[in-house]
A and B are shown apart, each in its own frame.
Chain A
């Protein structure tokens, strides 16, 4: 009996290690390949001699990319959208989540439903597009000509993140709040001195979710920043435009750099993922906790 048990466990363990090993390598491989290909020589990239490690190392693709003004323009746009978009979304979500976490709030159920309903039903793409166009017009009428601000203010808000914050604030013991009321704290002081410090990890998670969704945003940025607004396009749109360019065979034929034109695309991808790789270890600490608290109640 004892022996049979050990065998079934051993087999299961072996399967688990093998499976996870292969799966993890498969998950990571495309990124490693992109890094290797971005610094490999022309021959090596064009004829698939790069499998895992770089060959005939060159950094010309990166230096050309760094010399390109369009690239820096797109990069600054993305940074702008990420920083201001995160600050705005966090501001809105913290205030909203705090108010919703209070039991004494009248019509609390109604406000919660108002929020949760947007998770069930969305108007769809065309109505959303018309809405954004109308918003852009409204912004122009009050003198905001940049469409960047439209993306910062109107997009990237998610009901889920407000609910995460609300649940975190609900978890703060009410005795602490009562104590601070006795000490004469105002509502804003209670929020900034008690609630925010006590739910730091959730706020960090939500901030990172917002930041990543801003950094990765593509579709609406592309739709809203066409024509005269194209110098406001973020990095993701730039990458996609470059891909379309490099897949064009005419462009390929006129290529006479010492490295493969694909290396340049890979270099661009590496530039786009490096900031995420840098903050990734910090997210790692928080997000597992944040996601687990994401159960929707009510």
Chain B
């Protein structure tokens, strides 16, 4: 405060620094100016209102319900009335009576994502590289139309078709078409076909990945394909003159050009490493005749669904489910921010 006050030795009086008066004035009018700008431009701010309302009510208000993860949930449905129990549910998840189930689900979630990264992630890149090889426009767009289509079908339709095509039966002739075909080729034994591919825990991960590729590989290739066709033909010509074969062109021309796209998509992937959607897994396994499939098919979100919603009213624990999902989602968020930071440092490419 002292430095804003000037002491005049001649008159022996104190006076205020004139610049400070201006500063104070600006400070006082800062909020006033903001409000004035908003009022002048009120139409623009009014346009924001519906969007803010929707996101606030149905994306941010649920976060308030997350308090339920720290409260004893069986006493009342309303979060405000519940008793605080601190990290009781988290402690039970990490080290307690439900932890074997939870950690199994956690492991399954991670493994499903990890295999998705190994098989599902490179697939669209390969598809895009191959699309680029096809010079005939008609043929290429035919292939594109065919491979993009499954993306627009609902999960219900996709899983219903999967269930029907892999249908189990004691008779080979009554199995689903794909099961039947695989038995005839000798890929699976008749016993496996009879008990159902979707009932065997050892097949679930493969089925999940293959249906994932069926659903998404074509459509996801759009992004890579756009990056590849943006490469100037002169780059290829220069490489050819230098004697580069097809593989060398891939390595030294195409790969560096699409690297930034790949990195961005990889960050996205890492961010969703722990968010395996419940819908597809539930739909694939819900009417399975054997419970053994859940050894590999139970993921965190389906586990939380069964804990918190499917059994609500009959001993389900919404608090436990909230805690499980919260842990999962927070880890996911840390992963995406971490991956983003590393990518920015290492390659100068980042998503945010």
- Give me the interface of A with B, judged by CB distance under 8 Å: 1, 4-5, 8-9, 11-13, 15-17, 19-21, 23-28, 30-31, 33-34, 46-48, 50-51, 91-93, 95-96, 98-100, 102, 104-106, 111, 114-116, 118, 120-132, 135, 153-155, 157, 159, 162, 186-188, 191, 212, 215-219, 223, 236-237, 239-240, 243-244, 247, 262, 265-266, 269, 272-273, 276, 280, 283-284, 287-288, 291-292, 295-296, 298
Please name the residue on chain A nearest to B171 by beta carbon: A47
Considering only residues 274-302 of chain B, those with a C-beta below 8 Å from chain A are 278-279, 282-283, 287, 301
Binds A, one of B50-58, B99-107, B112-120: B50-58
Q: Report yes or no: A126 in contact with B318, Cβ–Cβ below 8 A.
A: yes
Q: Report yes or no: A23 in contact with B147, Cβ–Cβ below 8 A.
A: yes
Please name the residue on chain A nearest to B243 by beta carbon: A1
Q: Report yes or no: B55 in contact with A240, Cβ–Cβ below 8 A.
A: no
Query: Which residues of chain A come closer than 8 Å to B165, judged between CB atoms?
Result: 30, 33
Confirm or deny: B20 has a beta carbon within 8 angstroms of a beta carbon on chain A.
no
Confirm or deny: B195 has a beta carbon within 8 angstroms of a beta carbon on chain A.
no
Q: Report yes or no: A265 in contact with B54, Cβ–Cβ below 8 A.
A: no
Q: Report yes or no: B174 in contact with A292, Cβ–Cβ below 8 A.
A: no
Q: Report yes or no: B48 in contact with A23, Cβ–Cβ below 8 A.
A: no
Confirm or deny: B98 has a beta carbon within 8 angstroms of a beta carbon on chain A.
no
Give the complex CA separation of A104 and B45 in angstroms.
11
Q: Report yes or no: B44 in contact with A280, Cβ–Cβ below 8 A.
A: no
Interface residues in B, total, Cβ within 8 A: 96
Q: Report yes or no: B133 in contact with A12, Cβ–Cβ below 8 A.
A: yes
Residues A24 and B309 in contact in the complex (CB < 8 Å), given A47-B174, A96-B47, A219-B278: no
Give the complex CA separation of A12 and B155 in angstroms.
34
Please name the residue on chain A nearest to B300 by beta carbon: A124
Query: Which residues of chain A come closer than 8 Å to B174, judged between CB atoms?
Result: 46-48
Q: Report yes or no: B177 in contact with A131, Cβ–Cβ below 8 A.
A: no
Q: Report yes or no: A218 in contact with B155, Cβ–Cβ below 8 A.
A: yes
Give the complex CA separation of A205 and B6 in angstroms.
65
Q: Report yes or no: B160 in contact with A135, Cβ–Cβ below 8 A.
A: no
B170 to A: closest C-beta gap in Å = 12
Q: Report yes or no: B127 in contact with A20, Cβ–Cβ below 8 A.
A: yes
Q: Report yes or no: A127 in contact with B68, Cβ–Cβ below 8 A.
A: yes
Q: Report yes or no: A272 in contact with B154, Cβ–Cβ below 8 A.
A: yes
Give the complex CA separation of A47 and B172 in angstroms.
9
Confirm or deny: B351 has a beta carbon within 8 angstroms of a beta carbon on chain A.
yes
Instruction: Give the 10 A-B residue pairs with the shortest CB-CB distance, closest first.
Output: A96-B51, A124-B325, A216-B154, A127-B65, A123-B62, A16-B133, A16-B130, A24-B146, A126-B308, A187-B43
B126-149: CB near A (< 8 Å → 1, else 0) gives 110111011000000011011111
Give the complex CA separation of A295 and B279 in angstroms.
26
Most buried by B among A11, A92, A153, A162: A92
A126 touches which of B133, B175, B245, B322 (Cβ 8 Å): B322
Give the complex CA separation of A51 and B177 in angstroms.
7
6 more A-B residue pairs beyond the given contacts A95-B47, A239-B160, with a C-beta to C-beta distance below 8 A: A33-B165, A115-B55, A124-B321, A130-B318, A284-B145, A295-B264
A12 touches which of B59, B131, B147, B246 (Cβ 8 Å): B246
Confirm or deny: B5 has a beta carbon within 8 angstroms of a beta carbon on chain A.
no
Confirm or deny: B157 has a beta carbon within 8 angstroms of a beta carbon on chain A.
yes
B62 touches which of A130, A157, A191 (Cβ 8 Å): A130
A288 touches which of B77, B147, B226, B278 (Cβ 8 Å): B226
A51 to B: closest C-beta gap in Å = 7
Give the complex CA separation of A280 and B146 in angstroms.
11
Q: Report yes or no: A9 in contact with B278, Cβ–Cβ below 8 A.
A: no
Residues A239 and B44 in contact in the complex (CB < 8 Å), given A126-B68, A127-B62: no
Query: Which residues of chain A come closer than 8 Å to B218, judged between CB atoms?
Result: 23-24, 27
Query: Which residues of chain B come closer than 8 Å to A247, judged between CB atoms?
Result: 163, 287
B36 to A: closest C-beta gap in Å = 11
Please name the residue on chain A nearest to B227 by beta carbon: A292
B223 to A: closest C-beta gap in Å = 6
Q: Report yes or no: A216 in contact with B153, Cβ–Cβ below 8 A.
A: yes
Q: Report yes or no: B240 in contact with A5, Cβ–Cβ below 8 A.
A: yes
Residues A135 and B156 in contact in the complex (CB < 8 Å), given A31-B149, A121-B333: no
Between A and B, 21 residue pairs with Cβ closer than 8 Å are A25-B146, A27-B147, A31-B149, A48-B180, A50-B177, A99-B51, A102-B44, A115-B51, A118-B60, A121-B329, A123-B66, A125-B321, A126-B68, A126-B318, A128-B65, A130-B318, A154-B57, A154-B58, A216-B154, A296-B351, A298-B352
Residues A19 and B65 in contact in the complex (CB < 8 Å), given A9-B246, A111-B48, A126-B309: no
A177 to B: closest C-beta gap in Å = 12
Q: Report yes or no: B43 in contact with A186, Cβ–Cβ below 8 A.
A: yes
Please name the residue on chain B nearest to A97 by beta carbon: B51
B303-343: CB near A (< 8 Å → 1, else 0) gives 01100110000000010011001101110110011000000
B327 to A: closest C-beta gap in Å = 10
